[in-house]
Structure 1
Amino acid sequence: MKNGLFSGDISPACEYCEYGRRASDNVMILCIKKGMVSPYYSCRKFLYSPLKRVPKRQPRLPEFSPEEFQL
């Protein structure tokens, strides 16, 4: 991807393409250009839509006790 607003390490996938919509089975993607495709498929018409991409969850922070901060 050559978009200056987002990092370039986002791999193209129809799951977050502007032309793709999730099918009723919540597995496949209905693409305006290619028809029904896999969520990880990508074609030459791929256009990144940042609002469709779901970011990964942040890992939970470990629980600390007050004894760990005493000198």
Structure 2
Amino acid sequence: MFNKKHDVDCVYCKFGYVLTNGEDCICDKYGIIERKSKCSKFVYEPLKRIPSPPATIEKYSENDFKIS
């Protein structure tokens, strides 16, 4: 989120909306375009990014914490 270099992808653009086929987008500025097109109007919208799932916590036993 704080990284200044973002993937230029219409999925994360303020003006882009992905179509159901997943390969094309509707852009408020250019109309229907390819999803991975390089656009000069790209504005990163962090709320459109889907966060990765949380890491799984392993099960520990009481013996793992004993000092021998």
TM-score > 0.5, shorter chain as reference: yes
Q: Once superposed, what is the RMSD of the aligned Cα atoms?
A: 2.1
Is 1:31–1:37's contact at 8 Å kept on the other side of the alignment? Answer: no
**Counterpart position of 2:7:** 11
Alignment counterpart, residue 34 of structure 2, candidates 33, 37, 40 = 37
Task: Name the CA shift for 1:55/1:9 in 2 (closer, same or farther; >3 Å).
Answer: farther
Give the unaligned 5+ runs of structure 1: none
Determine if the alignment matches structure 1 residue 64 to structure 2 residue 63. no
8 Å contact 1:14–1:42 — kept in the other structure? no
Higher helix residue share: 2
The ranges of structure 1 where at least 4 consecutive aligned residues each deviate by more than 4 angstroms after the TM superposition are none
Q: Extract unaligned runs of 5+ from structure 2.
A: none
